Amino acid sequence: MEELKKIIREVPDFPKPGILFYDITTLLGDADAFSNVIEILAERYEGRKPARVVAVDARGFIFGGALAFRLGVSFVPVRKKGKLPWETVSASYELEYGVDEVHMHRDAILPGEPVVIVDDLLATGGTAKATIELVKKCGGEVMECAFVVELDFLNGREKLKPTPVFSILHYDK
């Protein structure tokens, strides 16, 4: 895992002073590293195959789409408000200054279907918690939330309990 951490670029003071941004574009630009991440996720879920992979707009789509393809299962996009063309369910979450919401087609998941939610990074957990809510509104069952990077110091996984959380890389600062 340390090899993957070395590939992720750390950008100080982005998007504002005092924030250390973990830039996954360098990981995406390394074919071996990107493939390694997808294989780690695929190995985790092959034995208990989900019916669908649900991924969060936008960077989550990169990992979620590749994982769904690798597992041979359906892919479900979770998007920002106004981006999906049909009837949706929605869930809101808090931002630093205000509230935002995510949407998913109301027929994207069938009742009782097990799903894995995938995103690139777990920070405070707001978006992931809203995504769990969307899955439940459709009657689906969240097996686990999976992330490439988790910022442990922000305690996002606490907000997702009792849903299991798996992260490949952990940062404590």
Structural domain count of the chain: 1
Active site members: 59, 96
Tokens 């899955």 -> residue = 135
Residue 5 lies in a domain: no
Average pLDDT, the chain: 96
Q: How would residue 83 be classed by pLDDT, with cut points 50, 70 and 90?
A: very high
Report the CATH number at residue 54. 3.40.50.2020
Residue 126 lies in a domain: yes
Tokens 């830039």 -> residue = 23
pTM of the model: 0.96
Domain span at 118: 48-171
Quote the tokens at residue 92.
């809101």
Please say if the pLDDT value at position 95 is more than 80. Answer: no
Nearest CA among 7, 67, 1, 2 for reference residue 39: 67
